[in-house]
């Protein structure tokens, strides 16, 4: 099969969810701790952004930048000595953006017990060209019922993000018109 070139306004061929899915694993050390002696949330967030960025770049076939992070949830503390696995996949794609879902799991480095989910997040990435301008991304093709559910949930989150943005812009415009510019 040969690749067909696409024009600037033509979407590249779709890619299945599994094509860009990835797992990033990292062992937590003393350098990762906060004042409470557990792993700092910012360390986990960086791992989440790194894994999501790799998935977004793989899916879009080039550079992609973080546009937003939604619903970062910390479910359990992570400790020094935990082996953290950050699993990420593209859930949904728009014209130039994509939502990446991330699950964070942890297990003790020296035990053979199952990993426990300790966090989750949704990030939106924008694909960019060499000049930093938005570029088209391939549609994501859900492969399983779970992928399809994630795709539908991502559409709901997108609708809420856009509605929230519109409401904030309208409020600011109203306040500015009333002379309450702050």
Q: What tens digit of pLDDT does each residue of 57-67 get?
A: 999 999 999 99
User: How many Å apart are CA 176 and CA 169, to the nearest integer?
Assistant: 10
User: How many Å apart are CA 122 and CA 73, to the nearest integer?
Assistant: 9
Q: What is the pLDDT of residue 70?
A: 85
pLDDT in tens, 75-118: 999 999 999 999 999 999 999 999 999 999 999 989 988 999 99
> Is a pLDDT exceeding 80 seen at residue 1?
no
CA 93 to chain CA centroid, nearest Å: 12
Number of H helices, E strands in the chain: 2, 7
User: How many Å apart are CA 67 and CA 124, to the nearest integer?
Assistant: 5
> Is a pLDDT exceeding 70 seen at residue 14?
yes
Work out the pLDDT band at 8, boundaries 50, 70, 90. low
Q: What is the pLDDT of residue 3?
A: 40
Residues pairing with 166 in the sheet: none
For the full predicted model, state whether its pTM sits above 0.85: yes
- Percent pLDDT > 70 in the chain is 94
> Is a pLDDT exceeding 80 seen at residue 9?
no
């Amino acid at each position: 099969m040969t690749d067909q070139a696409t024009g600037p306004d033509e979407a590249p061929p779709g890619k299945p969810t599994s094509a860009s899915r990835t797992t990033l694993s990292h062992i937590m050390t003393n350098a990762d701790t906060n004042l409470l002696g557990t792993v700092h949330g910012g360390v986990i967030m960086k791992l989440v952004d790194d894994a999501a960025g790799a998935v977004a770049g793989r899916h879009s076939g080039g550079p992609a930048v973080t546009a937003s992070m939604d619903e970062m949830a910390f479910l359990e503390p992570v400790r020094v000595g935990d082996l953290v696995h950050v699993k990420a996949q593209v859930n949904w794609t728009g014209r130039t953006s994509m939502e990446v879902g991330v699950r964070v799991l942890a297990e003790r480095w020296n035990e053979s017990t199952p990993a426990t989910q300790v966090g989750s997040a949704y990030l939106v990435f924008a694909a960019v060209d060499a000049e930093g301008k938005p570029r088209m991304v391939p549609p994501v093709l859900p492969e399983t019922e779970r992928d399809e559910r994630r795709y539908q949930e991502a559409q709901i989150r997108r609708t809420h993000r856009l509605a929230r943005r519109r409401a904030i812009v309208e409020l600011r415009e109203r306040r500015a018109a009333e002379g309450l510019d702050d």
